């Protein structure tokens, strides 16, 4: 078999090649954070107001947390704040490698136990006029990651901008098709009318302009009721309620997870059908996504 001959590469070989690329990318990421800091000169952003990078974590993820934080603090565009939000008490279990990053600009704050929502909700409450970029605690972010999001925000100042986005597909009735039918990690940057919508995923990082989300977004009794294990669904809906569009960056962010970081987390729950159930719960309460924007936050029952 020769690749030049036009024959398809067997699945097993493709999988071996994929795993080899992942191992190389992860090795390069580890090498980069080991040299922290590597960016010698950071550029200032041109966004109005503060630029805040916000994330959360919890003790089972602490072994790889410092690596992710180093990459977030080592960006070629400088954030005004990088904030790690933790449950009260969890800060006492942080490894020294994380605590040492306070001298490099990391802020460690505590808030209520809102699960993964801690990466955005407390920042929205504390800094309502800021541009907030969310990140995950188990991923390597290359030095140009934040600058690309900021440029997207400057080019489209009223949009929620995501590095890694799905194309969420609607059926003929305007309801979401099963999550497994969506087009994952699409290169599309905008909605594909009339039945495919850009859906940002938090793992790639998402930029939220000030007031891009409906005020209901911070109501914990609501998001824990409708979307207890998938904040992406809740934040997507809150943007639609506010009349805000979503935009992708062409899937240019290389997704590199630290080895072992996925042994715990919400991913395992959400892929087992919980995504579809939570989307259905939102549709049952708020109606079809195409009809959003007409419901007041005060109408929650």
> Does residue 14 lie in a domain region?
no
Task: For residue 241, give its domain range.
Answer: 36-290
For residue 49, is it within any domain? yes
What's the mean pLDDT in 172-199? 95
Contacts of range 108-112, beta carbons closer than 8 Å, 24 or more positions apart: 108/83, 108/84, 109/83, 109/84, 109/85, 110/85, 110/86, 111/85, 111/86, 111/87, 112/87, 112/88, 112/220
For 187, the 3-state DSSP assignment is: coil
Is there a domain that residue 179 lies in? Answer: yes
Within a domain: 48: yes
Residue 12 inside a domain? The answer is no
Residue 299 lies in a domain: no
* Chain-centre distance for alpha carbon 185: 12
Total domains in the chain come to 1
CB atoms within 10 A of CB 94: 19
Model pLDDT for residues 235-259, shown as the tens digit of each residue: 999 999 999 999 999 988 888 999 8
Q: Tens digit of pLDDT for each residue in 23-39?
A: 999 999 999 999 999 99
| pLDDT tens string 53-77 | 999 999 999 999 999 999 999 999 9
Confidence class for position 8, pLDDT limits 50, 70, 90: low
Q: What is the DSSP string of 197-251?
A: EEEE-GGG-EEE-TT-S-GGGG-HHHHHHH-TT-HHHHHHHHHHHTT--EEE--S
The residue-averaged pLDDT of 191-210 equals 95
Q: Is residue 283 part of a domain?
A: yes
Residue with tokens 């994929």: 18
How much is the pLDDT for 298?
44
**Domain CATH number, residue 139:** 3.90.550
**Is the predicted pLDDT of residue 169 greater than 70, yes or no?**
yes
Read off the pTM: 0.91
């Amino acid at each position: 078999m020769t690749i030049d001959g036009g024959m398809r590469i067997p699945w097993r070989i493709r999988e071996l090649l994929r795993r080899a690329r992942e191992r190389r990318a992860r090795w390069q990421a580890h090498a980069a954070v080991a040299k922290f800091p590597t960016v010698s000169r950071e550029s200032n952003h041109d966004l109005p107001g503060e630029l805040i990078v916000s994330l959360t974590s919890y003790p089972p993820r602490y072994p790889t947390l410092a690596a992710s934080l180093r990459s977030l603090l080592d960006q070629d565009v400088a954030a005004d704040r990088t904030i790690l939000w933790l449950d009260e008490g969890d800060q006492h279990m942080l490894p020294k490698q994380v605590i040492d990053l306070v001298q490099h600009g990391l802020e460690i704050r505590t808030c209520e136990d809102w699960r993964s929502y801690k990466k955005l909700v407390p920042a929205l409450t504390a800094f309502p006029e800021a541009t907030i970029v969310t990140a995950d605690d188990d991923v390597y972010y290359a030095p140009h990651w934040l600058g690309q999001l900021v440029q997207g925000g400057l080019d489209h100042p009223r949009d929620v901008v995501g590095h890694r986005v799905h194309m969420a597909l609607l059926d003929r009735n305007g309801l979401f098709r099963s999550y497994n039918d969506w087009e994952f990690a699409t290169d599309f940057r905008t909605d594909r009318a009339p039945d495919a919508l850009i859906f940002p995923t938090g793992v790639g990082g998402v930029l939220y302009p000030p007031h891009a989300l409906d005020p209901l977004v911070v109501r914990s009794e609501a998001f824990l009721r409708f979307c207890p294990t998938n904040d992406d669904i809740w934040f997507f809906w809150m943007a639609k309620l506010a009349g805000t569009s979503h935009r992708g960056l062409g899937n240019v962010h290389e997704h590199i997870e630290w080895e072992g970081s996925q042994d715990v987390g919400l991913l395992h729950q959400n892929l087992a059908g919980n995504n579809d159930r939570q989307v259905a719960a939102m549709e049952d309460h708020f109606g079809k996504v195409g009809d959003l924007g007409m419901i007041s936050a005060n109408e929650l029952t």
